Amino acid sequence: MKKRMLRDIEVTAVGLGCMGFSHGYGLVPERADSITLIRTAYDMGCTFFDTAEAYGAGHNEELVGEALKSVRSDVVLATKLHIPDHNDKSVREVIREHLNASLKRLQTDYVDLYYQHRVNKSIPVEEVAECMGELIQEGKIRGWGQSQATVEEIRRANAVTSLTAIQSEYSMMERMFEKDVIPACEELGIGFVPFSPLASGFLSGKYTQNSKYVGDDVRRVITRYQKENVEANQPLLDLLNHFAVQKDVTPAQISLAWMLYKKDFIVPIPGMRKVERFKENLGACDEILSEEEYNAIEFELTKIEIHGNRTDEDIAKLYE
C-alpha cells in the first residue's frame, strides 16, 4: 500500500477505524472473529489502526492489542483519551493514568499517536500539549493529536508541542473543515485524519431509505439517515455512481479517492468489518482519479445540497 506522512510518522494512505468491532454499528463480530479481521487488514497491507479507550469501555483497545501484538513494531497504533471536565487530579495525572491503562489493554509500552478525544473547553489546550510533550520525550508516545479541534485550539496547542495529526469528521457530506482547519494543518505540517470518511457508510451506496438499524447503531440517530434525507441526498449518490461506472470501481472508492487526491497529508480511517470491505477501501490508495476527473467531481459537488448531518449531541441520544 502507498504511504503518507502524519508529520513525522509514516502510515498507509488508508487506515482502519476499529470502533465498529466493539460498538456503534449494531451487532458486532465475535471476539475471535474481530481479532482475525484486524490481523487480516494488516496482512493485506494496512499498518495504521485507530482505536480509543471509549470504544466499548476499553474492549476495542484489547481487541486491537491482541490482534497486533506479534507485529507491534510494524504498525502504527493510534488511540484516544477523554479528559473529564471536573476532576480532583491534575491534567497531567489524568492523562498519565489514562495512557497507562490504554498501554496495558493494547499490550504495548508506547502509543504511536495519542489523541485528545474532543477538546475540553474548560481545560487549557496548553496544559494538555505540555504533558504530551513530556510523554513524547519519555518515549511513551511518538506523537499526539486533537479531535474536532478549532483552528485556534490547534494553533495554541501546536505552539507548545507540535501536533502530529488532527482527527475530525470529513467526507463529501461534511466539509466544514476545508475552510480553515485543513489549510492550517497544511501550513503547520500537521496530518489530517478523517473519521467517518464514507459518512457512516452512506457514500458506499449500500443503504436505502428502507434500511433498518437496530441496537447501538448510530445511524438510528444520525439525521442524514432519516428517510426524507436519504431521499434528498440521492443526487450525491447519483454523482458517485456515475464516476464509479466510468472508472469500473465502487462509489466508496470514488469517495476515498476524491479525499486522497486533495492533500497528501490526509489519511482517512474508514470502519471496515468484512474482508471485501478491506479490499475495496484499501484499494482506494491506487491512483483512481485524474486531475480532470477530480475537478469534474468538485464542480458537480458545488451544485448539490447536503441534507442532515452527524453530531455528538445526536449520537448521545442513542445511549440515553
Answer yes or no: is pLDDT of 210 > 90.
Answer: no
Answer yes or no: is pLDDT of 7 > 90.
Answer: yes
What fold is seen in the domain 3-204+251-287? Answer: TIM Barrel (3.20.20)
- If we measure between CA atoms, which residue out of 165, 224, 228, 160 comes closest to residue 198? 224
Write down the pLDDT at residue 249. 95
- Asked whether the CA dihedral 244, 226, 175, 159 is positive or negative, the reply is negative
Answer yes or no: is pLDDT of 12 > 80.
Answer: yes
Pairing outcome for strands 3-6 and 9-12: antiparallel
Confidence of residue 43 (pLDDT cuts 50, 70, 90): very high
User: Percent of the chain, pLDDT > 90?
Assistant: 88
- If we measure between CA atoms, which residue out of 223, 225, 155, 219 comes closest to residue 190? 155
Distance CA 278, CA 276 (A): 5
Calculate the average pLDDT of the chain.
Answer: 95
Write down the pLDDT at residue 292. 97
Answer yes or no: is pLDDT of 76 > 90.
Answer: yes
Write down the pLDDT at residue 87. 78
Write down the pLDDT at residue 224. 92
Average pLDDT estimate for 251-259: 97
Answer yes or no: is pLDDT of 287 > 80.
Answer: no
Q: Global pTM?
A: 0.96
Write down the pLDDT at residue 216. 86
Confidence of residue 61 (pLDDT cuts 50, 70, 90): very high
Confidence of residue 189 (pLDDT cuts 50, 70, 90): very high
C-alpha grid cell for residue 110? 508506547
Pairing outcome for strands 111-116 and 141-147: parallel
Q: What is the pLDDT of residues 80-139, one digit of tens each?
A: 999 998 778 999 999 999 999 999 999 999 999 999 999 999 999 999 999 999 999 999
Answer yes or no: is pLDDT of 222 > 80.
Answer: yes
Which active-site residues does the annotation give? 55
Average pLDDT estimate for 44-52: 98
- Asked whether the CA dihedral 239, 251, 2, 109 is positive or negative, the reply is positive
Kindly list the strands in the beta sheet with 191-195, ordered across the sheet, starting from the edge strand earlier in the chain.
16-17, 48-50, 76-81, 111-116, 141-147, 165-169, 191-195
Domain extent listing, the chain: 3-204+251-287
Ordered DSSP codes for 183-218 = HHHHHHT-EEEEESTTTTTGGGT---TT----TT-G
